[in-house]
A and B are shown apart, each in its own frame.
Chain A
Amino acid sequence: MGESRIMWEPTPETVQKSNMMKFINAVNANHRLNIGSYGDLYQWSVDHLSDFWGDLWDFLEIKASRKFDRVVDDATIMPGAKWFEGARLNFAENLLRFRDDRVALVFRGEAVVTRKLTYADLFERVAKLSNALREYGIKPGDRVAGFIPNMPEAIIAMLAAVSVGATWSSCSPDFGINGVFDRFGQIQPRILFIADGYYYKNKKLSSLERVAGIVEKIPSIEKVIVIPYTEAQPDIGIIPNAVAYETSLPDSAARRSNSNSSRRISPCTSCIPREPPACPNAWCKAPRAS
């Protein structure tokens, strides 16, 4: 039709240096193949699902305390196929591989706020919050929700929640109250993270009253953790069971962090807080079962 003309092509150098090409080389080595293009790789991947996802797991260096017994039980049933049975892993640990000074998050709150967090900052904050959630008693399977702007604390809260095995759900603070109730009312979260407000077209909008209304309708919510964004010290009194983000850490964690030993004492993010705590990582400092 004369429609489809090429608007961009990668250079040979880009192709050679790409992660995709490295994966192709790995697949060729593993299976003695001669795949040379994306098209061939795609066809192989859908014709050999188990080999593909298995090779990919290794290539991506997925961190798991226990690898899968098999990639998939039956790739012909939809839905119902079980993937990676037997695997034990932690989502947060896989995302928090880096703990250095490279910038992890750049936050722009419209024209008002600019913040940067390094990977070291991010890890430390997730570890502290993760400890706090665990000490509060959040267990695998509990739901933790966020009604929260696109700010670093949304990611920190999500990672802390999944690090203790909780299930995370989030929506943005401009969502209508009925929509929020629809979502969170169904899943019955124990903890709700919010920010005090957000900026839109340079106007400060407060979330506090709306959240008070939401909490009234969702009795499962035991605690609301309020992150300061538009106000340094928001008046959280109108929300039942609200605590300020910084002080949501229990005293013992605050004391440990003051002495700069939080990293040393933090359990690793693989820990599954069953009774008793039993972490497979030898280097983990979590208290062990006696």
Chain B
Amino acid sequence: MVQSTAGILINQMKEMRLNTDLKREDTIFYFTTCGWMMWNWLTSALSIGATLVLYDGNPFYPDASTLWKMAEEEKITVFGTSAGYLQALEASGIKPGALFDLRSIRTILSTGSPLSPEQFDFVHRDIKEDVQLASISGGSDLNGCFVGANPIGPVFRGELQARCLGMKVKAYNENGEPVIGEKGELVCEAPFPSMPIYFWNDPDGSRYQSAYFDKYPNIWCHGDYINITDTGGVVIHGRSDATLNPGGVRIGTAEIYRQIESFDEIQDSVVVGQKWKGDVRVILFVLMKDGYTLTDDLKAKIRTAIKLNASPRHIPSKIIAVEGIPYTLNMKKVEVAVRKVIHNEEITNRDALSNPEALEYYKDIPELQS
């Protein structure tokens, strides 16, 4: 993807200056590598004259408190991270708020994957109570956000604060109609400066066209499954290409993950849809914590929790224990890769995974054959 200078510049500066309310006296940190767009995003903070903090290495070395110790030492005011990191932090048991003086932090940004309401609770309870927790979302394709932080408005539990200025974002239902208070496809109805100007090696623009504009002509379809609430906030239910459609009812994977989070015995999980007898069935893979096994009793509890708190449609047909869950280098769960493996399809992008060997656990699983 090739993006223009002015487009990236004005959009990133908008997000820094307006959305993040960044000023010279701020110290901003984002946990990232220079292979992820958040690195590009962070560099724009230089235009404000703020101090940028760069961390390279494992964020859990020597232990889970590392980044928070650094936050105290460098008096970080804006702390940027991912939902994946916050999940691992919570699982570690460390409570940064009790260990360090985090008074300097006024804003915590989170992106990469949906942040559940329970994770909002964790941040306010165990990191800092009086802090603006802004879950933000966009893409490398725009090198910025469709939905982001709003320094002059409230944070509602479980919601991203607001659609970004100049981004004509809507949620389309299955008939292509914009809806409020209902789940739908995230689309952007009007152009914005940080759109790619072209794709490399795509002389007739057909690859660019099919990446975003095939579903609704002249409208950018982003691949996220969202709900715009009546207060203007947004809830993200997952990637739409990972959306499950059992019996024709659409389910965002984040809705199931949210229920699994409450089980102490379970370290992590991944949900995919398996093609089965002309329909799709929900398959839940779980990574157990050390010392725990996946018993029939636990499976029953999981199903009950999902039935009560999500819906009967969300209940997995199979719950299977695995030894590892594949993630990208920037801590996003790779549902699509797991789905391909269980359908014996080829994986083309193994090198973007931080643990490609984990895909082996999903090959030729006997329970999926019946």
Contact = CB atoms under 8 A, between A and B. Distances in A.
Interface in A170-207: 170-172, 174-180, 182, 186-187, 198-202
Q: Which interface residue of B117, B159, B193, B349 has the most chain A CB atoms within 10 A?
A: B193
Q: Give the interface residue-count category, chain B.
A: 35 or more
Nearest to A99: B49
A78 B218 contact: yes
A62 interface: yes
B191 interface: yes
Nearest to B14: A56
A102 interface: yes
Contacts of B209: 79
A79 B213 contact: yes
A39 B6 CA distance: 26
A176 B352 CA distance: 7
Nearest to A177: B351
A148 B166 contact: no
A187 to B, nearest CB: 6
A244 interface: no
Contact of A3 (B117, B168, B205, B356): B117
Nearest to B2: A167
Interface of A is mostly: mixed
A19 B23 contact: yes
Given A53-B166, A110-B58, A198-B56, A175 B35 contact: yes
Interface in A100-128: 102-112, 119, 122
A198 B57 contact: yes
Interface string B1-40: 0101111111001100111011110010000111110010
Contacts of A201: 57-58, 61
Given A3-B158, A109-B56, A119 B13 contact: no
A110 B39 CA distance: 17
Contact of A110 (B27, B46, B56, B155): B56
A167 B53 CA distance: 25
Nearest to B208: A79
Nearest to A172: B33
B130 A8 contact: yes
A38 B134 CA distance: 15
Nearest to B153: A38
Interface in A273-290: none
Interface string B72-83: 001000000000
B193 A53 contact: yes
A42 B329 contact: no
Interface residues of A, number: 92
A98 interface: yes
A7 B153 contact: no
B58 A5 contact: no
A251 interface: no
A154 B133 CA distance: 29
A7 B27 CA distance: 23
Contact of B150 (A20, A102, A200): A20
Contacts of A57: 10
A33 interface: no
A95 B44 contact: yes
Interface string B148-172: 0011111111110011011110000
B49 A97 contact: yes
A72 interface: yes
Q: Which interface residue of B18, B132, B349 has the most chain A CB atoms within 10 A?
A: B18
Interface string B298-340: 0000000000000000000000000000000100000000000
Contacts of B22: 19
A49 B190 contact: yes
A146 B43 CA distance: 15
Nearest to B134: A8
A160 interface: no
B190 A18 contact: no
B47 interface: yes
Nearest to A112: B57
A245 interface: no
A179 B352 CA distance: 7
Contact of A15 (B10, B27, B152, B213): B152
Contacts of A155: 43, 46, 54
Contacts of A52: 165-166
A104 B35 contact: no
B262 interface: no
Contacts of B165: 41-42, 45, 52, 56
Interface in B258-311: none
A80 B53 CA distance: 37
A186 B200 contact: yes
Contacts of B56: 107-110, 149-151, 198-199
Contacts of B34: 146, 148-150, 154, 170-172
9 contacts: A6-B156, A20-B151, A111-B61, A152-B54, A176-B352, A182-B351, A200-B57, A200-B61, A202-B62
Interface of A: 3-10, 14-15, 18-21, 23, 37-39, 41-42, 45-46, 49, 52-53, 56-57, 60, 62, 68, 72, 75-81, 83-84, 87, 89-91, 94-98, 102-112, 119, 122, 146, 148-152, 154-155, 158-159, 162, 167, 170-172, 174-180, 182, 186-187, 198-202
